Amino acid sequence: MTAAQERGFADPRALHGAGRDARLLLDNAREVVAECLGLRREEVFFTSPVDAVQRGMLGLAAARVRVGGHVVHSAVEHAHVRHAALWWAGSHGGETREVPVDLRGAVAEADVISHCAGAGVAVAAVQLANHEVGTVQPVGAFPLPDGVPMFVDASPALGHLDLPAEHWSAAAGHATAWGGPPGVGVMIVRRGARWTNPFPGDPAPTDAGGGLPDVPGALAAAAALRATLAEHDEVAARQRRLVDRIREAAAAVPDTDVVGDPRDRLPHLVTFSCLYVPGEALVRALDRHGFGVASGSACTASTLEPSHVLAAMGALTHGNVRVSLGRQVTEAQVERFCAVLPGVVQDLRAEIGL
């Protein structure tokens, strides 16, 4: 990113030399991301993470505006998807239809298909894997009825999981999932998909919604993705082993619920809930021991709102801890976390007389 700032500062749409340099860097970034994800370069667009999700999904709905305004999505989608679905349905005389999930946080193929059946469904959204509990969804395993297009929020999963080969029309990714810059998102619109810009501007998909793209950020995101995939197998195996250790340690703490699919999940993510313990208190206590974890909903972590994901799964919504392992987390750090956790929970419960 630092190196690209010297050559990628200009508007890549401009015709002068600096603009052509920026365009070259942006095209290079697009080529790398497309190659890494098994896509065509013309299917990849750089924008913000929120815009990638909302424009990507609503562009499919806008192309079917004459069909109807209903939006189908799983009950555990990120707030960016849920908010966009409510806005679109409310603006186009439709409704949102939430597909329930099981105790692991997974949707069933039959439920998705049944919610999409009938008139008026503009688009369906099912995430590649959940951003809080890591459960992988059956995306790409089945076509939807009546030509309903599928949008895939792959924001927490790219760099960890492959995109499915078929049965989806648009997707979104977030560069932080693979160690890239936090402000860079990737919107993917597959060749042949019916997609129309749902917001003011050029009707075709564009970088940054037609605005000025972050060229250095895009190049850094592409470089990070290529580096991450080069060491994916080794890192994922280590992360999965360490997460299994955390799941085992958390499950041994009395009145603690470890959630998500134990096998079909993202390798680096684990969530568990401790009965009788406030999530905020757990976060602060673990932080004093040097561990930066999260609680509440991953969509609104700063406000510690109860997780709609855990609620949809029928799990405890308070006292939850979400742990995400970076690529450099060591076994010694995880063992220290597992050693500290029982005492932290016991002390917090003792403070309220339990």
Q: What is the pLDDT of residues 340-354, one digit of tens each?
A: 999 999 999 999 887
CA distance 57 to 125: 7
Query: Stretch 140-159: mean pLDDT, rounded?
Result: 96
What percent of the chain stands above pLDDT 90? 91
Q: Which of 303, 276, 48, 33 is nearest to 184 (CA)?
A: 48
Q: How far, in Å, CA of 140 to CA of 151, rounded?
A: 10
Which pLDDT value is given to residue 306?
79
Using CA atoms, how far apart are residues 8 and 218, in angstroms rounded to an integer? 10
**Gap between the Cα atoms of 51 and 173, Å rounded:** 10
**Comparing C-alpha atoms, which of 112, 119, 63 is closest to residue 94?**
119
The CB-based long-range contact list for 154-158 (8 Å cut-off, 24+ gap) reads 154/127, 154/128, 154/129, 155/49, 155/52, 155/53, 155/78, 155/127, 155/131, 155/185, 156/127, 156/129, 156/130, 156/131, 156/266, 156/269, 157/127, 157/128, 157/129, 157/266, 158/37, 158/128, 158/186, 158/225
On average, the pLDDT of the chain sits at: 94
Rounded to an integer, the average pLDDT of 41-52 is 97
Q: Residue 171 has which token pair?
A: 């997707």
Q: How many CB atoms lie within 10 A of CB 67?
A: 17
CA distance 76 to 131: 9
* Gap between the Cα atoms of 200 and 218, Å rounded: 23
pLDDT in tens, 176-209: 999 999 999 999 999 999 999 999 999 999 999 9
Q: Write down the pLDDT at residue 352.
A: 85
The number of helix segments (H) and strand segments (E) in the chain equals 10, 10
Inform me whether the pLDDT recorded for 304 exceeds 60. no
Residue spans in the chain of domains classed CATH 3.40.640.10:
2-230
> What pLDDT, on the 0 to 100 scale, is given for residue 240?
97
Domain with CATH 3.90.1150.10 in the chain: 232-351
pLDDT at position 297 = 62
Asked which of 38-52, 95-109, 293-307 is least confident by mean pLDDT, the reply is 293-307
- Asked if the model's pLDDT at residue 253 lies above 90, the reply is yes
Comparison of pLDDT for 304 and 125, the residue scoring more: 125
pLDDT at 245 over 80: yes
Instruction: Evaluate if residue 169 carries a pLDDT over 90.
Output: yes
Q: Residue 279 pLDDT more than 70?
A: yes
pLDDT of residue 303: 52
Which residues are CB-neighbours of 250 under 8 A, at least 6 positions away? 256, 258, 270, 272, 321, 341
CATH superfamily of 232-351: Aspartate Aminotransferase, domain 1 (3.90.1150.10)
Mean pLDDT (whole number) for 150-166: 96
Q: Would you mind telling me the total number of residues written for the chain in this entry?
A: 354
Q: Given this model, what pLDDT does residue 333 score?
A: 98
- What's the CA gap between 299 and 267, in Å, rounded? 20
Residue 298: per-residue pLDDT = 56
Q: Regarding the domain delimited by 2-230, which CATH topology (the fold level of the hierarchy) does it fall under?
A: Aspartate Aminotransferase; domain 2 (3.40.640)
